Amino acid sequence: MTVDPSNPDTLTNRQGHPVTNNQNMRTVGNRGPATLENYDFIEKISHFDRERIPERVVHARGAGAHGYFETYGTAGNDPVSKYTRAKIFQDKGKQTPVFVRFSSVIHGGHSPETLRDPRGFAVKFYTEDGNWDLVGNNLKIFFIRDAIKFPDMVHAFKPDPVTNIQDGERFFDFCSNSPESFHMVTFLYSPWGIPANYRMMQGSGVNTYKWVNQSGEAVLVKYHWEPKQGIKNLTQKEAGEIQASNFNHATQDLYQAIERGDYPEWELLVQLMSDDEHPELDFDPLDDTKLWPEDQFPWLPVGKMVLNRNPEDYFTEVEQAAFGTGVLVDGLDFSDDKMLQGRTFSYSDTQRHRVGANYLQLPINAPKKHVATNQSGGQMQYRLDRAPGQNPHINYEPSTLGGLREAERSGTEYTPLIEGKLVRETIERHNNTKQAGDTYRKFEEWERAELISNLVGDLAPSDKRIQDKMIALAEEADEEYGRRLRDGLAHAFQGGSSQKPLGNKDGDKAPEQAVRKGHEAEPY
């Protein structure tokens, strides 16, 4: 069957040339050898060789969807304008397009979605003032409070550099020597460490940000996404049973729900606090290892998000999607949270490395408004960020010759007073274990039992010194928590290997089981 080369569904190469034979390369006779001028083959295979971009160091495994955010125009009972002039939150019923990427954190791009791990929850809002990225996790706190420790934390949680196997002893070696991590460890080793899927998990901005109003007044803010579908978590046993039959279950669940019209929804709530140090609290409000008590800082609903469209192509939209904590719009600002400050450089910097200098020209990342900059060049540039009528000779500012001009300020600038000595010190109010104890006591008994069982399973093969440090942290958090962990370790089998996925009690036995259960075969 012949096809008109001008037909739009005709197969072409990247130069637009119609491909008349996609089954056979050009050879000398039908047995070869091949010739060097095989342009269609060389273009096809050389692109195939390059069709993967560098995998994300963290959050490599992900799924995504499009939708919209609808603002309520209020924060609780107050007009939202009292706290922020960000246009996305004004005018009740106003809708803003969004793209959301959910992910796991430590493991690679095709790792099972049942592994014990935090989950990423990143939202890109395509606002009228440009993009806003709210980059967070399902759990509302983090392991560390200073960004200088982030590479060490990730190295400890990643597979061993020699064996390439995740190792619980390495994980607890870092955490036992970083006591601020104990609250996060308590959540991670409970059922909250394995969400049932992406639709039925919470989201959080984790870090503290600021809202700024028209008068230039600021408040501290924390963001919370609450799923309308309810929250569901898995035990280690249940996760293992699901993984045995499907390691893509969360991606499949999200995709199929949207395809059948069961659009997932989340309500966005915020907690607000005056912008000062709050010495009356037993923690620092900028400490991302801490929760803000809801009874003191109530959750105020400000809008809802609906995901109603699946990506048309996974790589183009989900894999190339690039988020950064520094991507804020007018009315939103940074706090002095040291993790946020470090993330703000790291996130966008890694996207320039991973996707390229012009990653913001890709449709999934580009704002849905006109862009005009004096930046140009770099790999894969395919348009100029020019304004209509801009003098093409003028790629600098200021200029009187038809170049770009600065925008007018939309409100009073926020100008906080910053003073103090330059130091390398931790914050004063550590209180590393109190909230971990509060969290333990709020768990239901089955959650506490699962937490202890999972901790014992991973700590039992670990160095005794690491065990003792973790027991001490648990005892400091809650007497019962510490006693149950100590008793569990005292009665646990101390042999075996720590080289297995976190929380997987029998993972170290899998190599021997494969040999024992394998069926013999003759060579062929």
User: Both ends of the chain: CA-CA distance in Å?
Assistant: 41
The answer to whether 2 touches 32, Cβ cutoff 8 Å, is no
Mean pLDDT of the chain: 93
pLDDT of residue 494: 77
How sure is the predictor about 370, in pLDDT bands with cuts at 50, 70 and 90?
confident
How sure is the predictor about 419, in pLDDT bands with cuts at 50, 70 and 90?
confident
pLDDT of residue 110: 92
Residue 6's SS3 state is coil
> Among the options 66, 107, 131, 137, which is catalytic?
137
- Of residues 519, 503, 507, the one with CA closest to residue 233: 503
How sure is the predictor about 260, in pLDDT bands with cuts at 50, 70 and 90?
very high
CA distance 85 to 51: 42
pLDDT of residue 389: 87
Is 137 among the residues known to form the active site?
A: yes
* Residue 406 pLDDT > 70: yes
Lowest pLDDT segment from 45-49, 215-219, 281-285: 45-49
**Range ranked top by mean pLDDT from 211-220, 394-403, 408-417:** 211-220
Is 59 among the residues known to form the active site?
A: yes
Lowest pLDDT segment from 91-95, 298-302, 323-327, 467-471: 323-327
Give the residue, 309 or 371, on which the prediction is more confident: 309
Prediction pTM value: 0.93
CA distance 408 to 418: 25
> Among the options 59, 107, 183, 224, which is catalytic?
59
What per-residue string of b and e applies to 112-124 under the rule 16 or more CB within 10 Å gives b? bbbbbbbbbbbbb
65-117: pLDDT as tens digits: 999 999 999 999 999 999 999 999 999 999 999 999 999 999 999 999 999 99
What per-residue string of b and e applies to 452-475 under the rule 16 or more CB within 10 Å gives b? bbbbbbbbbbbeeebbebbbbbbb
pLDDT of residue 285: 96
Q: What are phi and psi of 242, to 5 degrees?
A: -70, -45
* Residue 452 pLDDT > 60: yes
